[in-house]
Amino acid sequence: MRGLKDKVVIITGAAGGIGKATALRFAEEGANVVVADFADGTATVQEVEAKGTKAVYVKVDVTKEEDAKAMVAKALEVFGKVDVMINNAGITKDAMMKKMTKEAWDAVIGVNLTGVFNCTAAVLPHMLERQSGVVLTTSSVVGLYGNLGQTNYAATKWGVIGMTKSWAKEMAKNGIRFNCVAPGFIGTEMVKKIPEQVLNEKIIVKIPAARLGEPEEIAAAFAFLASDDAKYINGAVLSVDGACTL
């Protein structure tokens, strides 16, 4: 991938799953990584550094504006710049609408939507000052088509598409690109929470690729969209889903 060597990338939710795979992929491309998560990200840091680049773990709850600001401040203190911000942290609290609690609604909105707002708002002054940067967001097949039991999650994953496109329209002139990756069902802790029978009988059977995706397959999309190979791609939503949206 062109242009990622010596870049600095902040990845939220990088302690595990897609975020960790993305941290390792960016390290392979020669980038330095800020591992931002409220879970312990030191294992990710060690694995990144084993690949020969630098990494730092920052404990952050993306729902908190002050945490997001501190995360960017730490990145600037350690690395002196931020080239790429990847808004990857996300949660589910699934329930059919008739059973969904206000607590489950608020929690998912807080992480998946407000968290993306907080982290992007925190990094923008620096990117605007440099007139350079890439901000990536994480939607989902569920953000494009909805899903049973995911009123809250669908609202957020649809929402981040609108945010990403709005930012691209506002700030393309400032040299900042904003793109979104929309994964299908990927084999991480998040998918492990789906009841086994539902996963096998209702979900996997509908995926033309007939398998779950791998975190590394989403990491590759993030790396491409952050790279100079994508320098005229702005405001796009890239589905990486084994054709499950067809």
Active site residues: 153
CA 236 to CA 181: how far, in whole Å? 8
Tell me whether residue 43 or residue 198 sits nearer to ligand CAA (CB atom).
Answer: 198
Interaction partner, residue 13 (ligand NAI, ligand CAA, none; CB < 5-8 Å by kind): ligand NAI
User: Site for ligand NAI (CB under 6 A): how many residues?
Assistant: 29
List the structure tokens of 44.
């990710």
Residue identified by tokens 């730490």 is 74
Amino acid at 118: N
Q: How many CB atoms lie within 10 A of CB 65?
A: 15
Interaction partner, residue 118 (ligand CAA, ligand NAI, none; CB < 5-8 Å by kind): none
CA 212 to CA 185: how far, in whole Å? 6
The per-type count for the chain, helices as H runs and strands as E runs, is: 10, 7
Residues that bind ligand CAA (CB under 6 A): 92, 94-96, 99, 140-142, 147-150, 153, 185, 190-191, 194-195, 198, 202-203
The answer to whether 91 contacts ligand NAI (rule: CB under 6 A) is: yes
DSSP class of 202? I
The answer to whether 204 contacts ligand NAI (rule: CB under 6 A) is: no
User: Which residues bind to ligand NAI, rule: CB under 6 A?
Assistant: 12-13, 15-19, 37-39, 60-63, 88-91, 111, 115, 138, 140, 183, 185-186, 188-191
